[in-house]
Structure 1
Amino acid sequence: MNAREERGRRASLRGWGGVGAMAAGCALALASVLLLPLTQSAGDPDDGPPAGAGRVAAGSQARADACADPEKQTLAPSGADGPTIDAIKARQGAKRKLIVGVDQNSYRWGYRNPNTQGAELEGFDIDLAHRIAADILGDRDAVQFRAIPTNQRIPAIEDGRVDMVVRTMTIACDRLSDVAFSAPYFKTGQQVLAPKSSSITGYDDSLADRRICTATGSTAYTKLSEDKQNGRLPSSTDISVTVPNQLDCLVQLQLGAVDAVVTDGALAASQAAQDPTVELKGAAFTTEYYGVAMKKDADDLVRRVNRVLVDYRADGWQRSYDEWLSATLGKDAAPSRPPAPEYLRTS
């Protein structure tokens, strides 16, 4: 049976898990629709823009065309306040919060736990955001979360809707001309997620004649597009299916609309935990690092976050990993630990 016939068979069953899988897919899709209005707004128009909005860049970030080791293109840590942090601290009353762009649908990273009062946001990224707020404002709960889709992470920073994004965001050369990154806080790599019953074996020739889903603006799509152009990916692989939010790819997979998903292995493992009929296929085929993204000219904020990360790696990172990620990525956190930070950006 070829790939297209296999897709037709799955579609006729309403997804490769029959009625049960279809129900799971619909439930996830419905959950996403119901959850998004809770926080995915531009915020109170009276809030005013977050600190740093509209200022002329005071420093220069390494340009994408001259980038090497993007995870090292960041500023040295410092606990000193500056104009960006001063503006955050100057917010009054209930608005005195750090405004952080996050995900609310990525299981164990940033998701709303329906078993908590108010369906609180929880996960590895959420823990880090609380830690940064505690350092800057002295209160871990002094943070306003704004849910943003994958393809809106950079625009949300540039437009001043958020002070920073903590949302499984890969530090990448082509992003350094738009935003500034902290040092890495997590190591991962791109992997293939597909049904357990699929003949796909990984990022290889088994993807020929298959439809692959990625998130718009993701490093996964960039990698697939480049590899298809240079022949490292079969020319018959269809990479045209892109979605605003990465979790939407899982729904597409459940509905039989695509044959596989390519995304960060750390996210894919969480999605496999949500749906036992899918699994990771093959090893990671890239090495990537998550960083906290901020406005390019927010030098003092970048330095402060890097100082927080120094402390967090020593006290906090492992606890958060154990709580949220060990069940999906394994008890050994070593493969996910970021490297010792280097700070090559000087201005």
Structure 2
Amino acid sequence: MEAYTSPLLATHGTFPATGADAGVAAHYGDPAREQRQLARASARVIVDYSQLGVVTVTGEDRASWLTTLSSQVVTGPLVARGADLLLLSAQGRIDFYMHALENDGTMWLITEGSHAQALTDYLNSMKFMLRVEIANRTDDYAVVGSTRDFRADTDAPAILQNARVWQDPWPGIVPGGYSYAQSVEHPGEGYRWFLSIINRVDLPALAESCELAGSWAADALRIEAWRPRFGYEVDHKSIPHELDLMRTAVHLSKGCYKGQETVARVHNLGHPPRRLTFLDLDGTEHTQPPVGASVYSGTKKVGTLTSVAQHFEAGPIGLAVLKRNVDPAATLMVREEIAGEEGSAPTATDYAAAQTIIVTPDAGQVAGRRTMGDFFRG
């Protein structure tokens, strides 16, 4: 498949992103200012996420069918605003992670661009005799992100006023959901994120009527809010419990679906083998480690840095997936290993990292926990 390149990359001063965001801008010349503007929410700022994929599901059975396949209930009003849903393997691992929106008789699914066709093919293989039609519409539609819903903004461009808008439910605990986070006051309480689906041909016009912020700005706000993302925190072993996705993407009381047995068993009787954590990184190096760098506790590798950003107020921050039993009080080290030239030894740069617990080490085993009522009953 030919690599995607956004037309907005032609904007003067643009620095291209890499990894899951390859094809769009990391920033447009001033990442700190872009992040401040994006965080304000009152400014008319958009983030080019046109590298994402868009898949549509139409037909009378679309909502009930997706409910039977996925981890979430999408037959009610929740999906009209925006829902998270997962398609899991039989072992409960995350195969597909989608943002779902019901609009005008169509279920719109936003996913990573590299997964759009695979998702389309999988859904087509599962429709059997049901009244559903699935299509990969990535060539026709593009996605832009914002901290503001432009539909009620009469001064916003008509392209955004008329867009189909998915509102991130994070960090709310949706019906049937469950929080594994330790913090009583979640740092994402003020986090607001919208993905607008527009006609792809309209994307260049937005650069003329809106301020642009790159993916670095959006990632910094996402990391600050402890928000996991498919292209970063999820790997081939991930189960939803590890990433605190039980709060938005899993309905614990819904009917049977593939992977449900693992979800229920880990939640009620076991522990997830890994846990998501937030990292405050040492900023004295004036650089930051790359995504994928190893995380160490002493001399032992205990996890992987999955997201990293330079926050305009908090400095260098990141998310990491660690082994469950890593001491929550331990000071960690993120190591960037640099291959040496032929015949020379590799070098490494270490970044001290203080962890803030997101998913607790004792997450799970809910069925075996005593409730407050248990204590009163003795």
The two structures have a TM-score, normalised by structure 1, of 0.26
- Structure number with larger C-alpha Rg: 2
Considering fraction of residues, name the structure with more strand. 2
Compare relative contact order (CA 8 Å, sep 6+) and give the higher one, 1 or 2: 1
Give the structure-2-normalised TM-score: 0.24
